Structure 1
Amino acid sequence: MRTSLIEIRLLEDYLQQRLSPEDKLLLEARLLLEEGLQERLSLQQRCYQLIQVYSRESVREQLQRVEHALFTQPAHKRLVQKIKQYFL
């Protein structure tokens, strides 16, 4: 595997807390010593945060489409009535 991919996997394992205590300690030492490694870690962490936000928005949009289809189509009228009974 290419060195950059190995580094990405190592940083991912660090962010996901999947490293052994020894590997974590070694990486933390590298973060202090290697120029640019801390920045690459921060960028990777930010990417994961953006992916998570995008995923949430995507799921939210899908749920809104399902809700709209369910509550506006006459074919689902009985189902909607049953659902409403649970909340009344």
Structure 2
Amino acid sequence: MTSRNNTRLIDEYLNGRLSPVDRLLFEARLTVDPTLKRDLYFQKKTYRLVKMYHREKLKEEIEALHKKIFSSADKLNFRSNIYQLFKSR
């Protein structure tokens, strides 16, 4: 089980919030502590998955907004203005 301190320390390491000395000490610990190294690997993986999830949710929101704007009859004026912006470039 990952300790709370290790989780916090790994978070600070991954986000560049450790001082140079603390970063060096953390990296030295990684070479001798296989548990910390494993925890770092899984925390990085978790961060990547969360980031991917948020990208997918944002993409869904943008697609829903696009559909709402570009298929609604009452947004004709807005669509026309948008098309003109891109046409003139």
Given the alignment of the two structures, is residue 62 of structure 1 paired with residue 73 of structure 2, yes or no? no
Given the alignment of the two structures, is residue 45 of structure 1 paired with residue 44 of structure 2, yes or no? yes
CA contact (8 A) 2:30 2:36 kept: yes
SS in 1 for 2:3: helix
The whole-number CA distance in structure 2 between the counterparts of 1:36 and 1:62 is 39
Given the alignment of the two structures, is residue 13 of structure 1 paired with residue 12 of structure 2, yes or no? yes
- Residue 35 of structure 1 deviates from its aligned partner by 2.7
The whole-number CA distance in structure 1 between the counterparts of 2:5 and 2:38 is 16
- Structure 1 segments (4+ residues) deviating >4 Å: none
- Residue 37 of structure 1 deviates from its aligned partner by 0.9
Counterpart position of 2:25: 26
Give the % identical residues: 35
SS in 2 for 1:36: helix
> What residue ranges of structure 2 are gaps of 5+ in the alignment?
none
Counterpart position of 2:71: 72
In structure 2, give the amino acid aligned to 1:39: R
Structure with bigger RCO (C-alpha 8 Å, 6+ apart): 2
Counterpart position of 1:81: 80
Number of equivalent positions: 86
In structure 2, give the amino acid aligned to 1:58: K
- Per the normalisation by structure 2, the TM-score is 0.91
> What residue ranges of structure 1 are gaps of 5+ in the alignment?
none
